[in-house]
Amino acid sequence: MKNVENFQNKKVLVLGTAKSGYAASHLLHQLGAEVTVNDRSPIEQSEMAQKLQNEGFKVVCGDHPLSLVEEDLYCIVKNPGIPYTNPILIEAIKRNISIYTEIELAYLISEAPFVGITGSNGKTTTTTLAFLMLEEGKKNPLIAGNIGTVACEVAQKANRENVIVTELSSFQLMGIETFCPKISLVTNIFDAHLDYHGSREEYIKAKSAIFKNQTVTDFAIVNYNDETVMGMIADSKATIVPFSSTEIVENGAYVKNNSIFFKEEEVIKLEKVVLPGKHNLENILGAVCIAKLLNVSNDAIEQVLTTFTGVEHRLQYVCEVNDRKFYNDSKATNILATQKAISSFTKPIILIAGGLDRGNDFDDLIPYFNNVKTLITYGQTSQKIVDSALKTGMKDYKTVDNVEEAVNEAYALSESGDVILLSPACASWDQFKTFEERGNKFIQAVHKLV
C-alpha cells in the first residue's frame, strides 16, 4: 500500500454504511483522517453502523443533517447508490467539496495497476473471464469493485506484482478525479439507471469517466459494434483496442474462419468455447483483449474458454428436468439483457419475466417474442409485458403471483426439448431485495421439480 498523506488530520465524511462505507471508514482512519460516518437508517437497522460505533467511530444515523458539511470538511466518500440529489451532497457541491466513491481511495493507495470494466450489460461476465484468464496465465490478478469485494480492501493487499480487475458501475465512476486504469473496457451502452442519472446523456457521461485520465501508455478496449461506445472515445488519449463479433478490426479481437483472433493471431476455435450466446461472444472478445494486452498465453485463454459455463444469475445453466433445460438469467434487469438472453437459444423458449415497474413499456421485446413459445409473467410489470406480447399475436401466456408459481406453470406448459428461461427484463425490488435473491428462489423452485 502506498503511503498517502492526502487525508492526514483532515475531516472526512463517509456517507452510507454498506460494505464500501465500512471499508472506506477503516482505510481513511488508517490514513490519519478524522472520520465521521452518516447513514439515513436508524442505527438499530444498520449492522455496519453499530460495528463502526463500537469500534470508536463517530456515527450519525437516522437522518442526513446539513450540519455535517462543516467549513473545514476535506471531502465526502459516499456509497455509490446514494444519489447526488441527497441534501448533504447538494450542499457539498455548493461549497466545492470533493465527493468520491471508494474506488478513488483504492486507486490512491494501490501499488498495483487497475483493469476497469464497465458498460450496461456483460460487465460481470467480462470481469470474471478476464480475471480467470489472468489467473490461468499466472499474472497474479485480484478481483474487486461492483462484482463483490470492496476495491479499497483489495488495494491494501495488492503489490506491484498484482493487477486489480474491477467491475465498475456508473455510480462509482461519477466520483473519480484521479482514477486511471491501465486498461479500460466498455462492453456496451443501453439506457439504464436513468432514474438515478436523470438522462441518457448524463449516464453516458458517467460511463465515459473511465477514459478521462488515461494517456497514450494506457489502453481503451471498446465494442466496435456499439455506436455510442465508439462515440465515447472521441476525445480519449488512450491507445484504442476494438473488438467485434461481426467485423474484422485492426489491433483488436474479432472472429474469422470460425475462430477468435487477436490482431493477426488465431487464439481459439469457436467450436471449443462452451459459453452460449452472441452477447457472450462479445464479452469473450473483450476479455481476450485484456488477456493478450497483459501477455497471457493462448493455452491459458483456451483453458478458461473450454471450461467456463457462466456467472451465477447471468444466463446460468441450472439443470435439466425431463428433457427441459432451465436457465437462470436473473441479472437481466433491463430489456437489452433479456433480448440477448432470448437470442442465445434456437430451441423453443418458455420465458419467465417481470418485476419492478420503472415506467417503461416493453415493446422493444416485440421482435424477440417470435422466439418465445410461451410467456409467464409476474410482479408489477406483468400486464405491461403481456400487452407488448399481444401485439405479436401471442396466444400462450399466463400471469402468476411470484417466481415459484412461474416455475411450476412453465414446467406444466412445457414439452420435451424446451428451454425454460428466467430473464425478467426488470429490477427485482418489487418482491426481492436483490437479483441474486430472485435467482436463488428460481433455482430452489426448479430443484423441487426434480
Residue numbers in the known binding site for ATP are: 119-125
What CA–CA distance (Å, rounded) separates 62 from 42?
Answer: 4
What CA–CA distance (Å, rounded) separates 180 from 334?
Answer: 29
DSSP 389: H
Task: Give residue for cell 497483459.
Answer: 294
With b for 16 or more beta-carbon neighbours within 10 A and e for fewer, the 390-423 pattern comes to eeeebeebbbbeebbbbbbbbbebbeeebbbbbb
What CA–CA distance (Å, rounded) separates 255 from 129?
Answer: 18
140: exposed, middle or buried (Cβ count in 10 Å: 0-12, 13-18, 19+): middle
Residues 6 or more apart from 429 whose CB is under 8 A from it? 355, 356
DSSP 437: H
Name the 3-class secondary structure at 42. Answer: coil
DSSP 121: S
Name the 3-class secondary structure at 307. Answer: coil
In order of 113, 126, 272, 274, 366, the CA distances from 290 in angstroms are: 13, 10, 20, 20, 35
Q: Which helix (H) or strand (E) holds 207?
A: helix 200-208
Residues 6 or more apart from 71 whose CB is under 8 A from it? none
What CA–CA distance (Å, rounded) separates 345 from 342?
Answer: 6
Is the Cα dihedral 168, 173, 179, 181 positive or negative?
A: positive
With b for 16 or more beta-carbon neighbours within 10 A and e for fewer, the 294-319 pattern comes to bebebebbbbbbeebebbebbbbebe
DSSP 51: H
Instruction: Indicate the annotated binding residues.
Output: 119-125
